[in-house]
Structure 1
Amino acid sequence: MTDPTPRPIRFVHQGQIREVSGLPPTTTVLQWLREHAHCTGTKEGCAEGDCGACTVVVAEADPVSGELTRRTVNSCIQFLPTLDGKALLTVEDVTRSAGPGQLHPCQEALVACHGSQCGFCTPGFVMSLWHSYEAHETPLPRPALADALSGNLCRCTGYRPILDAGEQMYAAPRTTMDLAPIQSLLHQLNQTDAASLLYEGPNAAQAGKTQRFHAPRTLAELATLRAALPHARLLAGSTDVGLWVTKQFRDLGELIYLGRVAELRHLGRHVDAGGTTLEIGAGVALEDAWSALSEAIPALREVWLRFASPPVRHAGTMGGNVANGSPIGDSAPILLALNATVILRQGDSQRELPLSDFYLDYMKNAIQAGEFLQGIRVPVPGAADERFRAYKVSKRRDSDISAVCAGLWVKLDGDTVTEARLGWGGMAATARRARATEAALVGQPWNETTLRRAQAALATDFTPMTDLRASDRYRQRVAANLLERFWLETRPDAPLAADQIQVWPATR
């Protein structure tokens, strides 16, 4: 494979195609907006994708249908070259769409409901409200609206007037953005730049050095490129790697971006005699992956909604979350309990590995040089004798990192446990199954005596650490309590319904 000729980054912004060159590949979208495009409506708050002040909308055309997909993302951690072939929409575009001298209904509602005090977070709320307004013709129920705004933090106004505005913005005559000009420009752009992107710019971490950013378009190109550059940094949603630049000022070296490889965005369902399996490409957004999992396994809905925030789920990928291997990542413990496997590719060869064998040590996995994660296969539990639950415990309900996350699955023959898979996050250097606890369950009746033995075994499976999120004793106690809750919900005799053990879903 020969490298494509380096070219500028090209994307649609404010009704025209922008060309950008000469900037470091790790320049963030927010930096470009404020420092180069002089669009200062978008704010920088945390610079780590947590507060939502920098929220923008990225639009992308489906290569076949041309249909436009619009999603909120955090511009503070998105690298500018990831916009290539896409459209960038900001708070200035929302205001402009309302007409000269007018405010958009979501902005008018924020004013009328006193939804802004210091105003710093307001542009981010406007973008999330506008995204919801464009996607829904009638107001969302307030709990669903709160979920949609969970990636936007406000320190002074409080959320009630903002939620009021989210309902009231539908009272005015409906104003929707004309998407035809954006679609036309994106079509023009993608006809011109059908080949893969190679962008070169100065290395922000090493003066005088050049940094390259590759964005292959096909799986075959990616495999060849990865074989040629086995030590290059793979970049998916940038929701973790972006912080290595904005917080740690690290040199990322050569970058290979996975976001333009269509095959990695495949999300499908395979049904055979063995049951149903979800196949999730490594480039599938977290939002889409969790949505599909939640549809197939309703017990996952709450973990889906509490996994980070919509802007993070829109940008990040489940493949990236699994490959990253953080011991407090929420995907891995759930997937461990579901007996998921990972598909690893090197050149033209593939191998399938149980996720339980994938993690070797803290932030170390079984991926070999020149290899990459191509996808994840997840068997869907559905038999009458299977019991599955997922739990997340964190200090803050929305958009917070877990202290403990658990995926718990057992198979019963009558009232006897025949198989068990218990996946845990936050309890060890990697997400891991509790093998001793599983052994204490298998072959035993699913009753309180067995539960107590399993809780005792759980203390031998893990020696958790103490950090800012939780102490080791807290994690051990919470894990034991979650195991008990699982038994209470799934025991053969009088299992408890959800509204008997948790207030929040009953009020939503």
Structure 2
Amino acid sequence: MDTKTIRFIRRGELVALGNVPPDRTLLEVLREDLGATGTKEGCGEGDCGACTVVLGEAIDGRLRYRTVNSCIRLAHSVDGLAVWTVEDLAGADGALHPAQEAMVRCHGSQCGFCTPGFVMSLFGMYQNHVCKGESITRALAQEELSGNLCRCTGYRPILEAAQQMASLPRVTVDEAALVAKLQDLAPSHDERYLAPTTLDALLAARAAHPQAQIVAGCTDVGLWVTKLHRQFAQVLDVTRARELRQVEDYPNHIAIGAAVSLTDAYAALVTQRPVLKTFADRFAGLPVRNAGTLGGNVANGSPIGDSMPLLVALDARLVLMSQGGHRHLALEDFYTGYRKNVLAADELVAWILVPKPRQGEFLRAYKISKRFDDDISAVCLVIRLELEDGHVARIGIGAGGVAATPVRAARTEAFLAGKRWSEDAVRQAIDVLRGEFQPISDMRASSSYRSQVLGNLLQRFWLESQGHEHINLERFALEEASA
């Protein structure tokens, strides 16, 4: 097979690497081929953030910065991008970058293993906020550091470092020069790692190579490489197809391309429904959301993926495409079993169509996990309610963690449809919901716990629909509690 040289910009200079296997991770290339050992391997699954690096992509003549986990990022995916590791931040004279200097001044490092990852997240924050004249609040720092874990510091000094970066002498990237260099890196072809830049080319590659492993962000397939030691002779990357990197606005719905990152997809959903902001922020850590895509999350079909219960409750539909045409179907009809779906060998998920909210819609999305940030759900329940004259006119209930696939609570929806929205109806619906599924017991929760929580969340939804506040941990504010 033809092979290509991976080319990216680091420290303002071109880096070219040849004969890189399609399933080799960026972390392996950085540490073993380039000697960038400041980038650490901690968990090997995108949880701890020790391997965090920053990628820069030229979009419409400007540079977009994204923090990602290099441990589950395939090396070929950075072809044509800029890459920063912790070794790349200090000046030529050895002067520390504000992200590094603030950590020193705030005593943000103890054992130091996690520190490079935190510094890189701070660097990404610096480029995306400080360099644009925006202030970094403690809440913003906590949100954007959610993908970095530390056992030593208690996080307070690191959060303080994030807030102090702006007070240090400004350091800037020569973006114009870097964008010019990136635009000169025309994509090359590799039969082992296919990354078509148009939808037509992507569908043609899918038809010609049905055995190729599809990746759409690689936040799950990356674990197959690092944890299961799976090897792929050929990879088909959907994230370069420009048509699928867009969020399109229509009168009654938005169409989210399958290659749109989770960060951007949830931003679009939050714009339509601001109540989803906390739920969106709790979908993994920022580096995972930056790398993963909504299309990949849907196609992967994990029963504990948080996107699908939300999309089911919102009555989202999928557009599946092949060279022969396209078809639409409800998201819950996409799945046939555990991580199995209806995709034909030449098809791909192309768009997710999400209806816009109707006037009077009441929506809540609940995520129950052992850790508040950067954790996988034990139970996810999303409920969308529309009332007319006090009766249930329309209701959507999506659930995760309670079956082999993401599911719609169809029996509970049918029970409530047309009924007066009352405490008695909800009490009966709780029993219906608990009896609708037979969840398993695993490391995250027991079957009985999941069933109990399902009903409790419907009870919480009822209370919130009646105006009760501060009954949800998401509404808890530490500053208010300590006042």
Q: Same fold (TM over 0.5)?
A: yes
Q: CA RMSD in A?
A: 1.5
- State the Cα distance separating 1:178 from its structure 2 match: 2.0
Corresponding position of 1:69: 64
Cα separation, 2, equivalents of 1:410 and 1:52: 37
Cα separation, 1, equivalents of 2:247 and 2:478: 32
Letter of the 1:433 partner, please give it. Answer: R
Equivalent pair of 1:139/1:166 in contact (CA under 8 Å): no
Which one of 112, 120, 124 corresponds to residue 113 of structure 2?
A: 120
Equivalent pair of 1:227/1:370 in contact (CA under 8 Å): yes
Which one of 423, 430, 435 corresponds to residue 460 of structure 1?
A: 435
Corresponding position of 1:225: 205
Corresponding position of 1:437: 412
Cα separation, 2, equivalents of 1:288 and 1:501: 26
Identify which range, 178-187 or 364-373, moves more after superposition.
178-187
Corresponding position of 2:196: 216
Equivalent pair of 1:436/1:460 in contact (CA under 8 Å): no
- Aligned ranges for residues 339-488 of structure 1 at < 5 Å? 339-384=315-360, 386-488=361-463
Question: Which whole-Å deviations, capped at 9, do the CAs of 1:110-146 have from their partners, x for residues lacking one?
Answer: 1111110111111111111111112113432212210
Cα separation, 2, equivalents of 1:482 and 1:304: 18
- State the Cα distance separating 1:371 from its structure 2 match: 0.6
Letter of the 1:221 partner, please give it. Answer: A
- Aligned ranges for residues 131-210 of structure 1 at < 5 Å? 131-137=124-130, 138-190=134-186, 193=187, 197-198=189-190
Equivalent pair of 2:383/2:396 in contact (CA under 8 Å): yes
Gaps of 5+ in 1: 200-211
Which one of 283, 286, 294 corresponds to residue 259 of structure 2?
A: 283
Which one of 241, 252, 260 corresponds to residue 261 of structure 1?
A: 241
1:21 and 2:18 matched:
yes
SS across alignment from 2:336: strand
Corresponding position of 2:101: 108
Letter of the 2:430 partner, please give it. Answer: Q
- State the Cα distance separating 1:46 from its structure 2 match: 0.9
1:33 and 2:30 matched:
yes
Corresponding position of 1:209: none
- State the Cα distance separating 1:503 from its structure 2 match: 6.1
Cα separation, 2, equivalents of 1:501 and 1:364: 34
Using the size of structure 2 for normalisation, the TM-score is 0.96
Letter of the 2:69 partner, please give it. Answer: N
Question: Which whole-Å deviations, capped at 9, do the CAs of 1:460-486 have from their partners, x for residues lacking one?
Answer: 210001000001111111110110111
SS across alignment from 1:170: helix
SS across alignment from 1:423: strand
Question: Which whole-Å deviations, capped at 9, do the CAs of 1:90-127 have from their partners, x for residues lacking one?
Answer: 1122113xx41211122111111111011111111111
- State the Cα distance separating 1:31 from its structure 2 match: 0.8
Cα separation, 1, equivalents of 2:164 and 2:62: 29
Letter of the 1:240 partner, please give it. Answer: D
Corresponding position of 1:205: none
Cα separation, 2, equivalents of 1:19 and 1:130: 24
Equivalent pair of 2:22/2:233 in contact (CA under 8 Å): no
1:296 and 2:272 matched:
yes
Question: Which whole-Å deviations, capped at 9, do the CAs of 1:373-404 have from their partners, x for residues lacking one?
Answer: 001000022312x2211111100000000001
Cα separation, 2, equivalents of 1:142 and 1:504: 17
Which 4+ runs in 1 deviate beyond 3 A?
A: 499-508
Equivalent pair of 1:281/1:374 in contact (CA under 8 Å): yes
Corresponding position of 1:91: 86
Letter of the 1:380 partner, please give it. Answer: K
- State the Cα distance separating 1:252 from its structure 2 match: 2.6
Cα separation, 2, equivalents of 1:181 and 1:316: 28
SS across alignment from 2:118: helix
Cα separation, 2, equivalents of 1:226 and 1:320: 15
Identify which range, 463-472 or 414-423, moves more after superposition.
414-423
Cα separation, 1, equivalents of 2:168 and 2:15: 34
Equivalent pair of 1:326/1:431 in contact (CA under 8 Å): yes
SS across alignment from 1:198: coil
Question: Which whole-Å deviations, capped at 9, do the CAs of 1:141-162 have from their partners, x for residues lacking one?
Answer: 2122101101111111220111
Equivalent pair of 1:423/1:433 in contact (CA under 8 Å): yes
Question: Which whole-Å deviations, capped at 9, do the CAs of 1:290-328 have from their partners, x for residues lacking one?
Answer: 011011111211110000011000000000000000000
- State the Cα distance separating 1:502 from its structure 2 match: 4.0
Equivalent pair of 2:117/2:148 in contact (CA under 8 Å): yes
Corresponding position of 1:206: none
Cα separation, 2, equivalents of 1:255 and 1:361: 24
- State the Cα distance separating 1:506 from its structure 2 match: 4.4
Question: Which whole-Å deviations, capped at 9, do the CAs of 1:269-289 have from their partners, x for residues lacking one?
Answer: 111xxxx31110000000000
Corresponding position of 1:337: 313
- State the Cα distance separating 1:500 from its structure 2 match: 5.2
Cα separation, 1, equivalents of 2:82 and 2:388: 54
Using the size of structure 1 for normalisation, the TM-score is 0.91
Cα separation, 1, equivalents of 2:475 and 2:160: 20
Equivalent pair of 1:231/1:370 in contact (CA under 8 Å): no
Equivalent pair of 1:223/1:348 in contact (CA under 8 Å): no
Which one of 220, 223, 226 corresponds to residue 246 of structure 1?
A: 226
Letter of the 2:46 partner, please give it. Answer: G
Question: Which whole-Å deviations, capped at 9, do the CAs of 1:72-105 have from their partners, x for residues lacking one?
Answer: 0001111111111111111122113xx4121112
SS across alignment from 1:183: helix
Cα separation, 2, equivalents of 1:316 and 1:459: 32
- State the Cα distance separating 1:505 from its structure 2 match: 4.8
- State the Cα distance separating 1:180 from its structure 2 match: 2.7
SS across alignment from 1:477: helix
SS across alignment from 1:76: helix
Letter of the 2:57 partner, please give it. Answer: E
Identify which range, 324-333 or 216-225, moves more after superposition.
216-225
Cα separation, 1, equivalents of 2:381 and 2:96: 45
Question: Which whole-Å deviations, capped at 9, do the CAs of 1:38-81 have from their partners, x for residues lacking one?
Answer: 1111111111111111100111112xx22111100001111111
